Structure 1
Amino acid sequence: MSTQELFVAAARKCLSAGRKSLSVSQSLDLAAQVSALDLGLKPALLYDSNGASADQVQQYLSSLQSSQLVSKSLLTLDLNGNTLIVNPVTARLNVEQLFHDGNAAVIDVCHSLEKPTITDPLREELKSTTRDLLLLLRELEHLKEAEKPHCVREKSDEWNLCTVFGLLLGYPVAYWFDQNKSFENCLSMTPLTVTTASVTWQADTTSHRCCLFSFSVPTALLEEMQSKLENWRLCLQERFQQQNVLKDLTVCQSTVTLPSVCL
């Protein structure tokens, strides 16, 4: 079987939800994303292609590792019922760089605010979450190849998962809100600038276009965020040039305004 066929076969075998398997296109998207993780282009991937469980995602990852399609450094994480595939080293380095080098941008989108506001990434709630997250990632770095997903439940009960996902997924901007007051946000009908980074995955003789990153910034704050976004783009470009599996990196922006935004 070709590399492409092996990736697709593993996805369709391991990740069925009910009677429904992933399509070939979805399987190729996932293959490109996992390859980017293994190359260190992405720190983590939040699995949301269908309703497959964390155990099924672990089976998929183990299958790829057994076939030597990806390294054994990748791990499956069950974070309060949310399934991620993580490159622990890349994720830790990314979080450390964001905070220690002052490149983190956190936007407060509490429902009580009239409009989104840049907040201090070192405010106590965020510092505490970041410390816990770094401890978790250092713990994951020392794990050997796992047969089961690594579950994080009690530790993460107080985390704002929206912020944690932003950090884990390698975004230069993360949203935060006071979840003790409300899980709603003030982004309704707020113009958002969406940044996407896409690549072409060349597997055997077939190429597949895939979106690696997609995140938003309130357009009104774009000018203040510009240097952080540019730094993120340059760092991504530098990492991209150090590999030859993924081709044709394209970073672009568009603006959307939505009646409601789910975080």
Structure 2
Amino acid sequence: MRMAESFSSLLLAAAQHHIKLGKRKGLPSSTSLRLAGEILAVADGLKPAFLYDYNSAGITQILSYVQELQTIGQLECRLHVLSIADNVLIINVDMMLEWLEMLLLQNSVPFVDISACRTCPGICDLEVVVAIKGHISEILNHIKAVAAGASRLLSSSEVFAPEWNLCTLFGVLLGYPASYSFPAQKSFDNCLPMVPLRVFTIEATFSRINDNFRVPFYSFSIPESLYPAMKIGLDAWYENLKGAFRAQKDFTDLCIKHEVITLTAVAL
């Protein structure tokens, strides 16, 4: 118990020191521990990346924080802090390379067309999938180049192309088993309002600090009408996650929850 308290104190101090904006207070304690847990989940190979969205801390602050977290947690995997249009992701380099290469080769992640002009969501046409794969390939090549030139366990870079749909690509980079697509250059409207959605939440206990502290790993949705056709792929994806979970020691009690909801508006 005393070791867990010491570990928690180190995590809290790291967030307070690095993730702070001017004279403002740092993140609340629970948020700081959740942030550390989400990054440790990336380091443990439970997801390829984490999108930082707690405050407007920049890449320099996040980089210094992750570097201290590597020391505190004795992390030995290669991590990369990637900025895409002012959005910052913390990436497990080896897992991300494997994940993106698999997507390009196996076409194993369905892309769901939610364009506003549609009456209901559907699987993307081949032409759209080819375009998305082209964008994935660009990011893959960028990360490969960074990995080849980095000799340390932590590196950083920026990348962006104006034709990218960041909603789609972030779904891919965060390791979701399905990702939404729509013509972002025309509009951010979509056909999801009043469409039943099956929302998945996957979390586990951050037992390295507390047997009662839960950390979310994934939160995503798919249209309920497509769930039967996608269930085999979703089940396979979850089995792979369970395999990675058994190989780590920071978390226990992996749990997947899902419910069907209908919203009057869906912002992406």
Q: Shared fold (TM-score greater than 0.5)?
A: yes
Contact 2:112–2:181 (CA<8 Å) still a contact in 1? Answer: yes
CA separation in 2, counterparts of 1:141 and 1:26? Answer: 30
- Map 1:210-225 to 2 at 5 A: 210-225=215-230
Paired residue for 2:131?
125
- Map 1:13-28 to 2 at 5 A: 13-18=17-22, 19-28=24-33
Paired residue for 1:195?
200
2:188 maps to 1:183 = yes
Structure 1 runs, 4 residues or longer, greater than 6 Å off = none
Q: What's the offset of the Cα at 1:120? A: 4.1
CA separation in 2, counterparts of 1:145 and 1:262? Answer: 38
2:262 maps to 1:260 = no
Taking structure 1 as reference, are residues 144 and 189 closer, same or farther at Cα in structure 2, changes over 3 Å only? Answer: farther
Write out per-residue CA displacement over residues 7-50 of structure 1, whole angstroms, 9 at most, x where no aligned residue.
11111211123513111110111111111111111100000012
- Map 1:1-263 to 2 at 5 A: 2-18=6-22, 19-67=24-72, 69-71=74-76, 73-120=78-125, 123-142=129-148, 143-145=150-152, 149-153=156-160, 156-204=161-209, 207-263=212-268
CA separation in 2, counterparts of 1:174 and 1:110? Answer: 13
SS in 2 for 1:65: helix
Contact 1:105–1:121 (CA<8 Å) still a contact in 2? Answer: no
CA separation in 2, counterparts of 1:60 and 1:137? Answer: 21
CA separation in 2, counterparts of 1:7 and 1:69? Answer: 12
Contact 1:193–1:255 (CA<8 Å) still a contact in 2? Answer: yes
Letter in 2 for 1:125: A
Letter in 1 for 2:18: C
Taking structure 1 as reference, are residues 121 and 250 closer, same or farther at Cα in structure 2, changes over 3 Å only? Answer: farther
CA separation in 2, counterparts of 1:258 and 1:227? Answer: 26
What's the RMSD between the two structures over aligned residues? 2.0
Contact 2:113–2:124 (CA<8 Å) still a contact in 1? Answer: yes
CA separation in 2, counterparts of 1:147 and 1:242? Answer: 22
SS in 2 for 1:158: coil
Contact 2:83–2:158 (CA<8 Å) still a contact in 1? Answer: yes
Write out per-residue CA displacement over residues 123-159 of structure 1, whole angstroms, 9 at most, x where no aligned residue.
3311211211211221232223388741113xx2211
Letter in 1 for 2:6: S
CA separation in 2, counterparts of 1:158 and 1:36? Answer: 30
Contact 2:36–2:69 (CA<8 Å) still a contact in 1? Answer: no
Letter in 2 for 1:137: I
Q: What's the offset of the Cα at 1:254? A: 1.0
CA separation in 1, counterparts of 2:249 and 2:78? Answer: 20
Structure 1 window deviating more from structure 2 (129-138 vs 39-48): it is: 129-138
Structure 1 window deviating more from structure 2 (230-239 vs 63-72): it is: 63-72
Q: What's the offset of the Cα at 1:180? A: 2.5
**TM-score, length of structure 1 as denominator length:** 0.92
Taking structure 1 as reference, are residues 139 and 189 closer, same or farther at Cα in structure 2, changes over 3 Å only? Answer: same
Taking structure 1 as reference, are residues 144 and 180 closer, same or farther at Cα in structure 2, changes over 3 Å only? Answer: same
